[in-house]
Amino acid sequence: MVKSFIEIILPLIFLTMQLVVILTKIPSTNKPANKKDADYKGDASIFWLVITLFLNLSIFNIWPIAKEPGIIIFLEITGSLLVITGVATHYFSFKTLGGNWAGLLYYQIKEDQRLVTSGPYKFVRHPAYFGLILTFIGYLFLLNSYLWLAISIALTALLIHQATKEENLLITRFPQKYRKYIRTTRRIFPGIY
């Protein structure tokens, strides 16, 4: 049963923002080098479609975590702020990367790729994933659902796996620079991990 209007509106806002990112292929300077790179847009669309499907499934709040009205209102307000912050962090991370973004589903390094350590990358090595995890936590608060808790844990594990694979590539491409960057910057959560 749908508990509030906000549980319908925020997933739609999230879907719209992600569709804008996918359709404009942020960053716009990232030109596909070959057919494999051009095919990424379709793969990313499927990835976001699956996440949005899970969001919409969890709206039905099958197993609510909190039941007190005061707590639910607090969670909805906090969750809304986390979702907005997470989506903004995700977006600005891609803008900062510019043409250095090689795609989410393909583990590759571009020939002219440089190591980006400015902007949000000054605080964590994977700020886009940090933004997604903030969004997952925000939706956990908003949707108040054990179902979404399970989905969030699974998606976060996938992002950590993705980050590990990407870091292995970056160590290969920038052996000294990236190792130094690892020593001075946390992986996903500022000051924690």
> pLDDT by residue (tens digit) across 139-148?
888 888 887 8
| Per-residue buried b or exposed e for 31-49, using 16+ beta carbons within 10 Å of the residue's own CB | eeeeeebeebeeebeebbe
The per-residue pLDDT for range 7-47, each reduced to its tens digit, is 566 666 666 665 565 555 444 444 445 444 444 444 455 55
- Asked whether the whole model's pTM tops 0.85, one would answer no
* CATH 3.50.50.60 matches 6-100+113-184: no
Q: Where are the chain's structural domains?
A: 6-100+113-184
HSE toward the beta carbon, residue 89, CA cutoff 13 A? 26
Q: What is the mean pLDDT of the chain?
A: 76
Q: What is the pLDDT of residue 177?
A: 93
pLDDT on residue 140? 87
- Looking from the CA of 47 toward its CB, the CA atoms found within 13 Å total 17
Mean pLDDT by 10-residue block, N- to C-terminus, for the chain (193 residues)? 57 62 48 47 54 58 76 88 91 86 66 88 93 90 83 87 88 92 90 76
Model pLDDT, residue 24: 52
> Residue 97: CB partners within 8 Å, gap ≥ 6?
27, 116, 128
